[in-house]
Amino acid sequence: MSAYKQIACGLHDIIEDRIVRRVECEVVYRLQEGAAERFYTGRLLDVYAKDGAEFVLLEGEVRVRLDWLLRVDEVDFV
């Protein structure tokens, strides 16, 4: 696994806002560096740290490293 690259605080705030408000959002992400883009529509359930990286938990038990998020709603993360 590649080294975790911390995301900007403002982007982290966007994730936390979606979790607290329990709203559906559109997410584009990768499951690993260089992998194909995946698309998700639904709720973000939790954000947490593990093994030196931060993750967001999506409905359906999908976990995505924050530095592999490409877009949440209309906000680009890259």
Q: What is the chain's pLDDT, residue by residue, as a tens digit (78 residues)?
A: 689 999 999 999 999 999 999 999 999 999 888 899 999 999 999 999 999 999 999 998 899 999 999 999 999 998
Residue 2's pLDDT is 81
The residue count for the chain: 78
- The answer as to whether 66 is a domain residue is yes
Distances, alpha carbon 9 to alpha carbons 6, 12, 14, 15, 77, in Å? 9, 5, 9, 10, 11
| Predicted TM-score (pTM) above 0.75 | yes
What is the rounded CA–CA span in Å between residue 20 and residue 58? 13
- The answer as to whether 7 is a domain residue is no
* Domain extent for 54: 27-76
- The answer as to whether 14 is a domain residue is no
- The answer as to whether 49 is a domain residue is yes
- The answer as to whether 1 is a domain residue is no
Q: Which helix (H) or strand (E) holds 54?
A: strand 53-58
What's the total number of domains in the chain?
A: 1
- The answer as to whether 57 is a domain residue is yes
